[in-house]
Amino acid sequence: MGFEEQPTFYLYSIGHPPDQLSLGHLVLKDYANPLLARNIRAPEITEDQIREWTDITPANCAFETASEDNFVVGLQVPVAGEVSVRFSGTTNKVVTARVGRRVMLKDSTRFFKDVVAKNQDVRAKLAVWCTVASSRYVLHKALLGLRRPQIWLLTGFYEFEGASLSQLHHREPGVELGIGAELVTALSGVPVGGSVGMGGSRLLRRQVEMPEARIWAAQWQRLDAEWIRQSASQDSVALTQVQLLPDTTYSKGVMLGSSEHESGRIVAAGFSLGDLGTCSRDDIIEEDEKYAEAFAVAERRLTRQRAS
């Protein structure tokens, strides 16, 4: 049996605890480091709610079909027979587990609106990110014009228990490999640092083992922000919008060069769901240094003023 699927789940070098990384988790730019980058913890939901909002399928294996790009697809390894998988490049990551599952939101837009956007902690942090991104300090210091914050929403994950991460090494690019229960069983008996021969010049070297249930790969969908400007007819903020904070990054309580009631001033950000994230780690973290530095300074100034 062959296997073909577009990889949209970003694989991590270790599994993350499910109580720290789950559906609705938000990350600013760097979803390669979802707990170290600027992030917003997802509103807590029960297992019953997860089953209500998602499609869940068994999966005890995930693999990187393109060499070293960190995007994986997964499957439930058959008890009898093998699944034929084609790998490009000469090294690929493979995660195998005792048990696992793939969890994907049925409707990410409705989940964001009904669960994520209703949470006040989430709204408060989104307001900070959007206020900083549109602040006069960032505009003047970065000299790159008005940018929308690059926000990602976690919309699916692979959760594995009793998992190990291995590296597949092979000399010929485009090798085809059969994955079955026999391989998973053999690999589970190899210590970390050991390897299993796959015939010819191919071998799997075991690198990491984690017995607890962990999130090993996540699917991220872009949360597009749209600037909403001051309008005479505007009297409320919709659920998928957040009100911006007073811009205190330059002067006390007021945007530099603006009056508090200036018509056309950005006063809120509205959100909608965009494309799935498919950027490699190098593309994710690549950013203009001036912008990154200006954003960090403006964020500190804004949060310090709010705390005082």
Mind listing the pLDDT tens digit for each residue in 55-88?
999 999 998 877 777 898 888 888 777 788 878 8
Read off the pLDDT band of 280 (50, 70, 90): low
Which whole number is the average pLDDT over 175-197?
Answer: 80
How many CA atoms, within 13 angstroms, populate the side-chain half-sphere of residue 239? 11
Average pLDDT, integer, range 171-183: 78
Say if CB 194 and CB 162 are below 8 A apart. no
Query: What is the reported pLDDT for 90?
Result: 82
Mean pLDDT of 97-124: 96
pLDDT reported for residue 232 = 46
Q: Are 168 and 177 in contact (CB under 8 A)?
A: yes
Looking from the CA of 135 toward its CB, the CA atoms found within 13 Å total 32
Cβ proximity of 267 and 226 under 8 Å: no
Amino acid at 278: T
pLDDT attached to residue 2:
40
Q: How many CB atoms lie within 10 A of CB 139?
A: 20
Judge whether residue 196 has pLDDT over 90: no
Matching residue, tokens 């003047």: 140
The two three-digit tokens of residue 134, written as one number? 């549109």
Which of 160, 172, 199 lies closest to 183 in space, CA to CA?
199
Q: Give the phi and the psi of residue 30 in degrees, each rounded to 5.
A: -95, 80
Above 70 in pLDDT, residue 177? yes
- 259 pLDDT exceeds 50? no
Bridge partners for 95 per DSSP = 62, 165
pLDDT value of residue 92: 87
264: left (phi over 0), alpha (psi -120 to 50) or beta: left
| The pLDDT of residue 28 is above 50 | yes
What pTM does this model have?
0.88
pLDDT, average across residues 157-164: 95
Is the predicted pLDDT of residue 51 greater than 50, yes or no? yes
- pLDDT (tens digit, 9 = 90+) per residue, 260-274? 334 468 899 999 999
Mean pLDDT, all residues of the chain:
85
Higher confidence at residue 143 or residue 149? Answer: 149
Residues 6+ apart with CB under 8 A from 77: 60, 61, 83, 96, 179, 180, 181, 183, 184
